[in-house]
Amino acid sequence: MEIVVCIKQVPETSKVRINPETNTLMREGVQSIINPFDMYAIEEAIRLKEAHGGKVTILTMGPPQAESALREALSLGADEACLVSDRAFAGSDTWVTAYTLAAAIRKLGPVDLILCGKQAIDGDTAQVGPSLADQLGIPFVAFVRRIRTVGSGELLVERMFEEGYEVVRLPLPGLITVVKEINEPRLPSLKGKMRAKKAEIIALGRGDLEVEDPFLGLDGSPTRVEKIFSPDLRRTGVKWQADAEEMAQNLVKGLKEQGII
Amino acid sequence: MAVVVIKEQCNGCEACLDSCPYDAIEMVDGVAWINEKCTICLACIEACPVEAIIQEESTVELPELDRGSYSGDWVFAEQRGGRISSVVHELLGAGRSLADTTGEKLSAVLLGHDMEAAARELVHRGADEVIYVDDEALAGFNDGPYASVLSDLIEEGRPSIVLAGATFMGRSFIPMVASRVNTGLTADCTALDIDPETGDLLQTRPAFGGNIMATIICPRHRPQMATVRHKVLPAFPNDPHRKGEVRIIRGLDKTRMDGRTEVLEVVEEILDTVNLAEADIIVSGGRGLGGPEGFKTVEELALLLGGAVGASRSAVDSGWIPYSHQVGQTGKTVQPKLYIACGISGAVQHLAGMQASDVIVAINKDADAPIFDVATYGLVGDLFQIIPQIIRSVKTARGQV
Ligand SMILES: Cc1cc2nc3c(=O)[nH]c(=O)nc-3n(C[C@H](O)[C@H](O)[C@H](O)COP(=O)(O)OP(=O)(O)OC[C@H]3O[C@@H](n4cnc5c(N)ncnc54)[C@H](O)[C@@H]3O)c2cc1C
Ligand SMILES: Nc1ncnc2c1ncn2[C@@H]1O[C@H](COP(=O)(O)O)[C@@H](O)[C@H]1O
């Protein structure tokens, strides 16, 4: 099975905090990591390969330093990695990201299954996967929590929804986006790390892809960030440090007055 | 288009360096310089105290949009098992005020089967018109047919705005619809407004795990599409006297119903899955509970208040409670009327999932825990003493003791 996993390098937001004085984002040496949801996509792809044979190619679009994310994925057991990078791609919204990734996938050759994370933790949109499927004209299932069976030319998967899950048949080639419940990602092996260090990365730029300029990067993006601001997280709340009974009574009184309980 | 520094204006204060989540700003000769890591997220523009960072305007000639040929606001009326989802009432509330601002018509689009009564009721909930596509193939959700039918309707009807719930269903197939009709889509919005000057839809949403808010526009494409977070915008009050038109479409071309994917079974797990997104009250527990038994106390309080049980990732990772209860960046995003955090430190990833709750109560023995920064009521002390007292007080207040 030819598998492509789309991953994104994101800032590890645990270290991003709001500066209370200036009310802006503070970055204390924020690390770049592979989007956590994409780790599950990588793991699932490697498991499929181990069970059914084939090849796993990791694909990312991003600035040159996204190469480190690709090497990390290689160290986990992926076979190939491809970096789609060009100034012309900067500032892409989800529509343009899907458009560009679709062109890269066509360039890479025939594929049976594409895996994406449920969403990236920087933009939190969850739109690239479904949109990519549409650009490639292939069926997809989002929010997959389990691959039940792998048949000839199809997968049986479980898709989450609010009240439970649905069993869906997905003909291949197809695309799935995965949630955290699907597996437990492995750690890289020493051998994997060595191999990843030396591996050749496929580099694709503007000139390598069949894309049209008006649909690229920030200019090509239908959506635009008009404004960005800090949410007002801090509340003018009260804080008590007293006898448990007294605090409990004050709380219940307050909640009753606000009509909440 | 790019983000650039006006060198003459930069005073070298370095405020932008800390604001950049991508490490894309360096100091060169005492002034800021934006390197190739920039993703044009615009965080630095806001951080700059002297307005030395700007977004350069595009030099590419872009086609003009014929705004006049699009009109009307549409709401996708999601249904499961023939029941309209409650988020639809909120979408109609939001859509109603947008439509009243622009003086346009508000339509609800319903895809389903045997739902005529429910279709009519959408008028009472704020719609001027209901477009109801009745087909057996649309009774249950399947991405392919839903995307085909909705994109066909959009291409024909040319609405100016299309809203859908940021539910599993909406976030599943709406990106496909947007891609098909070649327009932008803003995910998981928490506020919607009309720009009084341009008439564009201002779509505000959290990003970076709720650490920043962004207002997104879609200036050159129509329709302007957004998925909207549940339980954030007020619903339109039910008014059985409202009048409106119901258009029923039947006998659609079967080829549009070809989903390729096929839903074989729908399994409801009500018993062991808490619908945190729907709950008005959530009592959550973290590592401070000390073990799975700790959740008994939390459950008791939740039960008493008629709420659901949430958890931090630490509690989930320790195996004290299933993942379906996890609140936060890699769990669920919730916005109840009341969120009670017990023994949770308040890491940003947890806050990302609950900080928009109306009232937050924090119970933690560490007075400096960051959860207190977002709390409406902070109770510093041992949760094992405090929660039983809360339970007692609630019962007393209700005359149950
Ligand atoms: C990429 C990424 C994604 C993440 N996603 C999530 C997510 O979705 N959700 C999430 O929750 N976390 C998430 N995390 C983890 C997050 O960073 C924190 O580790 C986690 O939220 C901490 O959980 P906690 O508050 O329960 O535990 P701790 O941080 O250990 O806090 C326990 C608290 O309990 C208090 N306490 C202890 N005993 C008592 C007592 N008897 N009475 C009162 N108070 C007591 C302590 O003072 C302490 O403040 C994520 C992390 C990463 C890197
Ligand atoms: N620039 C990118 N390069 C490769 N894959 C991406 C990129 N952006 C998003 N993805 C994939 O799409 C998923 C959803 O991302 P998003 O729509 O941004 O939340 C991610 O989990 C990745 O699998």
- CA nearest ligand 1 atom 47, residue: B366
| Top mutation candidate among B334, B364, B382 for ligand 1, by most atoms within 8 Å of CB | B364
Where chain B has pLDDT below 70, the residues are 1, 57-63, 270-274, 401
Domain that includes residue A135, residue range? 2-220
Which pLDDT score is estimated for A18?
A: 53
**pLDDT category of residue A104 using cuts at 50, 70 and 90:** very high
State pLDDT tens for residues B296-335: 999 999 999 999 999 999 999 999 998 889 998 888 888 8
Atom of ligand 2 nearest to the CA of A94: 17
> Which residue type, as a one-letter code, is found at position A4?
V
> What does the pLDDT read at residue A225?
86
Q: In CATH, what class is B70-256?
A: alpha beta
| pLDDT value for A234 | 67
Q: How many helices (H) and strands (E) does chain B have?
A: 10, 22
Ligand 1 center to B244 CA (angstroms): 50
Q: Give tens-digit pLDDT for A21-39.
A: 554 555 555 678 999 999 9
Report the CATH number that the domain containing residue A91 is assigned in CATH. Answer: 3.40.50.620
Per-residue pLDDT, A35: 95
Total domains, chain A: 1
Q: Is the pLDDT of residue A40 over 60?
A: yes
Asked if residue A257 is part of any domain, the answer here is no
Average pLDDT, chain A: 91
CATH topology of domain B276-397: Rossmann fold (3.40.50)
Domain assignment of residue A208, yes or no: yes
Q: What amino acid is encoded at B139 in this protein? A: A
Cα–Cα distance measured from residue B293 to residue B275, given in angstroms and rounded to the nearest whole number: 22
Ligand closest to the CA atom of residue A121: 2
Contact B176, A133 (CB under 8 A): yes
Whether residue B371 lies within 8 A of chain A, CB to CB, comes out as no
> pLDDT (tens digit, 9 = 90+) per residue, B128-150?
999 999 999 999 999 999 999 99
Report yes or no: A248 at the B interface, CB cutoff 8 Å: yes
Q: Determine the residue of B276, B287, B342, B348 to mutate for testing ligand 1's pocket, defined as the one with the most ligand atoms within 8 A of the Cβ atom.
A: B287
Q: Buried (b) or exposed (e) across B221-254, using 16+ Cβ within 10 A?
A: bbbbbbbbbbbbbebbeeeeeeebebeeeeebee
A230 within a domain of the structure (yes/no): no
- Give the separation between CA A163 and CA B231, rounded to whole angstroms: 17
Q: What is the pLDDT of residue B256?
A: 80
Residue B58: its pLDDT value, please?
64
Task: Count CB-CB contacts under 10 A for residue A181.
Answer: 17
Say if ligand 1 is within 6 A of residue B286 CB. yes
Is residue A203 domain-resident? yes
Question: Is beta strand A32-34 parallel, antiparallel or unpaired with respect to A9-11?
Answer: antiparallel
Residue with tokens 């899907």: A98
Count of other CB atoms within 10 angstroms of residue A36: 20
List of residues 6+ apart from A232 with CB closer than 8 A: none
Q: Which of A116, A141, A209 to mutate to test the pocket of ligand 2 (most atoms within 8 A of CB)?
A: A116
Residue-level pLDDT at B212: 77
pLDDT at A144 over 60: yes
Distances (CA, A) of A242 to A250, B244, B342, B377: 11, 58, 17, 13
A242 part of a folded domain:
no
Domains of chain B, residue spans: 2-56, 70-256, 276-397
User: Is A26 inside a domain boundary?
Assistant: yes
Is residue A32 one of the residues assigned to a domain? yes
Q: Two tokens at B35?
A: 């390197």
| A residues 136..195 contacting B (CB < 8 A) | 139-143, 156, 159-171, 174, 180-181
B313 Cβ closer than 6 Å to some ligand 1 atom? yes
The ipTM is: 0.84
Q: Do domains B70-256 and B276-397 have the same CATH topology?
A: yes
Q: CA B162 to CA B226: how far, in whole Å?
A: 7
CATH 3.30.70.20, domain B2-56, yes or no: yes
Q: Whose CA is nearest to atom 43 of ligand 1?
A: B364
Q: pLDDT above 90 covers what percent of chain A? A: 77
The two tokens of residue B215 are: 């207002």
The pLDDT tens digits for A44-91 are 999 999 999 999 999 999 989 899 999 999 999 999 999 999 989 988
Inter-chain residue contact B273 with A164, CB threshold 8 Å: yes
What is the per-residue burial (b if ≥16 Cβ within 10 Å, else e) of A209-239? Answer: bebeeebbbbbbbbbbbbebebbebebebee
CA atoms within 13 A on the CB side of A170: 31
Q: Given this model, what pLDDT does residue B257 score? A: 78
**Main-chain phi, psi angles of A205, to 5 degrees:** -120, -175
Compare A14 and B156 and report the one with higher pLDDT: B156
Contact A175/A206 with Cβ under 8 angstroms? Answer: no
The pocket around ligand 2, CB under 6 angstroms, is made up of A 6-8, 35, 37-38, 41, 59-62, 94, 97, 101, 116-117, 119-120, 123, 125-129
Residue type, B121: E
Which protein residue's CA is at the shortest distance from atom 12 of ligand 1? B313
Torsion (CA) A88, A93, A97, A100 in degrees, nearest 10: -40
